Every structure is written in C-alpha cells, then in structure tokens.
Structure 1
Amino acid sequence: MPLIENGHIVEDKYVRVSDEDALPEGVPVLVGVDRFLKEAEALKGRQAPVGVIWPNNRPIAEIAPYLGQLSLIALNFPIFRDGRAYSQARLLRERLGWTGPLRAIGNVLRDQFLLMQRSGFDQIEAVKEADAEAFDEAVHRYTVFYQPATDERPSLLRQRLGRTLTGAAR
C-alpha cells in the first residue's frame, strides 16, 4: 500500500512485526499494542525507532506514559464508517501533545483525506495508488472551514474575529 506523508508518496521505513516474530535489528518497527505494552520496558533500550498500532476501541489516554519512547503512532480505521480514530488523533495532538508522526491505517478512503489531515494525521496508508495520487486535490478541495481543527487553517469564525479585532484596533 502506498504511504502518503505530508502530501507526498514516500517509502515506508517501518517494518510491521507480528507479536510472534522476532524484532529485526537496526530498522524501525511497527508493533501491535499488546506486544508493545508487554515489552515496553525492553523496547526502551532498542537502538532503532519503535512505533505502535493503537486500536480504536482502546482509550487513547492509556498511551500517555509511553509517548516519550515512541517514534510513530498508527491509528486504525477498521471500516469506513467507524471514525473513532479521528477523535483519538485530535486527543493525541491537542490534549496529550503528540508532535510525532501520526499514521492512518486500515480502511482509508480518498474522501476522508481532508478530515484525516485536519484531525492531525500526517501519514496516510492509502488503499490504492490512484488514491495516493489524488491526495493533493482532496486536501485542497475546500478553503473555508466552520470547525476548528489541529491543522493551521483557521475556522471561518477565527477569520471573521481576526478581521473584526484588526478593524477595531485602528
């Protein structure tokens, strides 16, 4: 599957390792939450980056004590109509202060790219190559937003307040 990072198709440097397989030395790994929590102490001493696949049915606050040892968090979209990972992404960015890479995996569709980006995802594992190529168009389709989000684009209210405050200061 193609990996989109900040709008560009990139090579995935992380190797997904199942719970039963040995961790390869010297390469970034992406492990499941059960393995990560069981081996968290041992993984601290690892010389290569470690990422975790966090399921959307587990409270995201549980990851807080481990944020310092992670280099990537992947949130899962098991089916297209299950959006709990959007909430997890915003909580990670806004409340827990996660600034590292946040990856959307699973059933990721083209029409969700903009919301994923606005929710805080900077990596998206696209289902098809064509979807990855359409990323730029998808995230620039709209220029005005009513809701505030984790991205830098201001909401319509913030834009209007800015003009009002600037006009009042003259």
Structure 2
Amino acid sequence: MRLIENGKLVEDRFARVPDDEALPEGAPVLIGIERFLRDAEALKDWPAPVGVIWPNNRPIAEIAPYLPQIALIALNFPSFRDGRAYSQARLLRERLGWAGPLRAVGNVLQDQFLLMQRSGFDQIQPVKAADADAFDEAVHRYTVFYQPATDRRPSLLRQRLGRSVSGVAE
C-alpha cells in the first residue's frame, strides 16, 4: 500500500497483520493494540520494527510505558467527522514527547491533510490513490495560521509580535 510520508508518495514498509495471523519473521509489522498489549513482553525481543494501530476511543496516555519499544504509531479516523485522533496526535507529540513516525489511517480525506500535518502526522494513508497526488496542493493552500500547532509554524500573532519586538520583518 502506498502512503504519503513527509509530503512524498512512498511504499509502506510495514506489513499490516491481523490479530489471528502469525507475524512475518524479520519484517516490520503494524498490529492492533489488543495484540500488542497481549504480546508486549514477547515483542520486546522481536527482530524487526513493530508499529501499533491505536483506536481513537482509548486514552492515548495508556501508550506511554510502551513508547520505547514502538517504531510507528497509527491513529485511526473511523469517520471523517470523528476528530479524536487529532487530539491524540497533539498529545503524543507535545505531552508524551513522541518523535517517531505518526500515521493517519482510516477514513482520511484530502480536505484533512493540512490539519493532519499541523497536528503532528508525518504519514498519511489516503483512502484514494488520487488523494495522494493532491497532497502538496492541499498542504500549501494556506500560509498564515491563527492557531499554534505541532508543526511549529508561527501563528499570525507570533509573527506580528516578532515584528513589533524586533522592529524588522522576519
């Protein structure tokens, strides 16, 4: 499956493995949280990277003790109207200090790409292949933002304060 990673279309190196199937030896895997929690001790010695699909109806703070052994976190968007994964992404980045790959999966639409990027996602698994082609245009549509975000682009207020304090345009 193809995905968008840091603005580029790439092949997914993680194999998504259902809970009832054996994990492929030596290959990066993406598994559900129930399986991960059940097998967390055994997965500490797994010879390949392990990613976790975290549901949006579970508190993200529960993942904190396992962060050192996780290579990728995928947050689920079950519906385009359900934005809980945005909050989870910001909490992971800002409070839990997650610096690894953060992937948006599920019902991911191109209208949401910019907000996903600003919330801390660096990987997006689009619903339609054509959406991936629209990524660059979608994330560069707006250049000025009122709200601060995880992507560290300065808000309009910060830009104005920077100009008035220093006296020069930044």
| Equivalent residues in 2 for 1:11-160, closer than 5 Å | 11-160=11-160
What do the CA deviations read for 1:139-170 (whole angstroms, capped 9, x no partner)?
A: 000000000000021100110111111129xx
Counterpart secondary structure, 1:57: coil
Q: How far apart are the structure 1 equivalents of 2:62 and 2:102?
A: 16
Shift of 1:2: 2.9
Aligned length: 168
Which stretches of structure 1, 4 residues or more, deviate above 2 A after TM superposition? none
Q: Residues 86-135 of structure 1, C-alpha deviation per residue, up to 9 Å, x if partnerless?
A: 00000000000000000000000000000000000000001111100000
Deviations 1:61-88 (A, max 9, x none): 0000000000000000000000000000
Query: Percent identity of the aligned residues?
Result: 80
Q: 8 Å contact 1:2–1:127 — kept in the other structure?
A: no
Whole-angstrom distance in 2 between the partners of 1:24 and 1:129:
26
Q: Mark the runs of 5 or more structure 2 residues left unpaired by the alignment.
A: none
Whole-Å separation in 2 of the counterparts to 1:12 and 1:129: 13
Per the normalisation by structure 1, the TM-score is: 0.97
Structure 2 counterpart SS, 1:34 = helix
Q: Which residue identity does 2:123 align to in structure 1?
A: Q
* Contact 1:72 1:100 survives alignment (8 Å): yes
Cα RMSD between the aligned structures? Answer: 1.0
